[in-house]
Amino acid sequence: MWLLLPLVTVALMLGLLWYSGEKDAEALAARGAREAVERKFSPLDPGSWTQAGGTGRWFGEGVESVMTWKHNPWRRERVHVGKRLRELRDSTDPADQAEYRRLKKLGSEWQERLLERYPELALPKDKEVPEEKNAFLKLMALFKEIDGTRGGSSPLPLDELRGQGHLLDTRAAQDIVTKNRQMIDQLREIGLMTGHSSNGYDPGHQRPNPYNLLGGAELLLLDARLAAAQGDTAHALETIRATRGLADHLTGVATAGTLEGCLVGAMQQQIRMYLMESILPSLPADGIDLAEWEAAAGLGVARPPDYAGMQRGDWNAM
């Protein structure tokens, strides 16, 4: 009799598959004929399990989603590293400011002891670049200025530009470029500089919002797109070089961390999108030097980033 068990199992599976297929065929044939019915949670219907408080996210996000699930009796809020320290830093309460300074002092002393024991964690000496020629320091100063004028929490670009710059119609794009011409020219000038160094920069202090890189790149690429559409290929090409230069300034210094590396990767995607969807299609087919555009955008084979160096940059910025 036990030899029949595998056959019975296979028969049941085939029967279930046939039955589910029949239901699918009926649903497809009657699609749109009936009003949608809200699916209720049922332990017998796996398709409804995701309705139980979003449990489907658990498989993708892990234990953090389980712990923040509103129906979890042991629920706790998601805590981000450094959240309390940032709250103290941004507080106007003198007691909070005093506590912030105390914790920073303790942290600095602890870091110094660790550096004595593990000197390889120290940031390497960066190259010497005169301050007036140091594109990295100028970029950080500009980003800090942007943070100050936009409340410190809203990086570039403007809301009407966010995520759709390469899709905007020409009139809307021209209005945005005209309104932000001074910012574009500043970013372009810094991007075309060749020297960058983190000497004289303390990553432990409140650093400017690095996400400004993506917003600044969006403005520059929009300017390049309009220049190409107007036939000014030289300006468009140089603006692409400037955009790529901003990335080099941000990640080409000793203090660069993993966040900066990820942002530069996202910016490279921005450049590719603009080139393929907006800039190159607007140029005359017989006048495109693809090798020149590829070199300007840095789209060739690239050396993998120094991940250990980025981790060291993160540790020193804590």
Same domain, 174 and 238: yes
Higher pLDDT, 236 or 32: 236
Query: pLDDT for 59-74, tens place per residue?
Result: 555 666 677 777 778 7
Indicate if 60 and 196 belong to the same structural domain. Answer: no
Shared domain check, 156 and 275: yes
Per-residue pLDDT for 25 more than 60? no
pLDDT reported for residue 152: 45
pLDDT band at 35 (very low <50, low <70, confident <90, very high): low
Rounded CA-CA distance 217/85 in Å is: 31
How many domains does the chain contain in total? 2
Q: Mean pLDDT for the chain?
A: 77
Reported as a single tens digit per residue, the pLDDT across 250-264 is 888 888 888 888 888
And the tokens for 12?
A: 């049941």
Distance, CA of 98 to CA of 114 (rounded, Å):
24
Proportion of the chain above pLDDT 90, given as a percent:
17
Clarify whether residues 147 and 241 are in a common domain: yes
Residue 13 domain flag: no
pLDDT at residue 133, as a whole number: 92
The whole-angstrom separation of Cα 307 and Cα 304 is: 8
Proportion of the chain above pLDDT 70, given as a percent: 70
Q: Is 150 part of any domain?
A: yes
Is 101 inside a domain boundary?
A: no
In the predicted model, is pLDDT for residue 211 greater than 70? yes
Q: What is the pLDDT of residue 134?
A: 92
Within 71-210, residue ranges assigned H as helices are 83-90, 94-117, 135-149, 170-179, 181-191
Q: Per the domain annotation, does 207 fall within a domain?
A: yes
Within this chain, do residues 271 and 147 fall inside the same structural domain, yes or no? yes
Are the CB atoms for 158 and 210 separated by under 8 Å?
Answer: no
- Residue 297 sits in the same domain as residue 149: yes
221 and 161 together in one domain: yes
What is the torsional sign of CA 13, 19, 21, 27?
negative
Does 139 share its domain with 261?
Answer: yes
Please indicate, yes or no, whether residues 60 and 154 belong to a single structural domain of this protein.
no
Cis status of the peptide bond prior to 284, with omega within 30 of 0: no
Side-chain-side CA neighbours of 313 within 13 Å: the count stands at 22
* pLDDT for the residue numbered 280: 85
CA distance 228 to 280: 8
Burial class (CB in 10 A: 0-12, 13-18, 19+), 218: buried
Average pLDDT over residues 147-156: 55
**Given 11, 46, 80, which residue is the final one in a domain?**
80
Q: Which of residues 67 and 157 earns the better pLDDT score?
A: 67
Q: Would you state the pLDDT for residue 32?
A: 47
Residue 52 identity (one-letter amino acid): A
> Which residues span the domain enclosing 58?
54-80
With contact defined as beta carbons under 8 Å apart, do 236 and 228 qualify?
yes
More confident residue, 159 or 25: 159
**Looking at the domain assignment, is residue 148 inside a domain?**
yes
CA angle (30 as vertex; 29, 36 as ends), nearest 5: 140
* Position 244 in a domain: yes
Q: Are residues 189 and 76 part of one domain?
A: no
More confident residue, 136 or 314: 136
Range 265-275 average pLDDT: 87
Does 122 map to a domain? Answer: no
d(CA 213, CA 250): 9
CB-based contact 196:134 (threshold 8 Å): yes
Cα separation, 214 vs 262, in Å, equals 11
pLDDT at position 20, please?
52
260's CB contacts (< 8 A; 6+ apart) are: 210, 213, 250, 251, 310, 313
pLDDT of residue 97: 92
**Is residue 105 a part of any domain in this protein?**
no
| Paired tokens of 173 | 């794009």
Q: What is the pLDDT of residues 47-102, one digit of tens each?
A: 555 544 445 444 555 666 677 777 778 777 777 777 888 888 888 999 999 999 99
| 67 and 179 housed in the same domain | no
**Distance (Å, rounded) from C-alpha 220 to C-alpha 233?**
14
Region 111-130: mean pLDDT is 89
Same domain for 277 and 186, yes or no, is yes
Model confidence pTM above 0.85: no
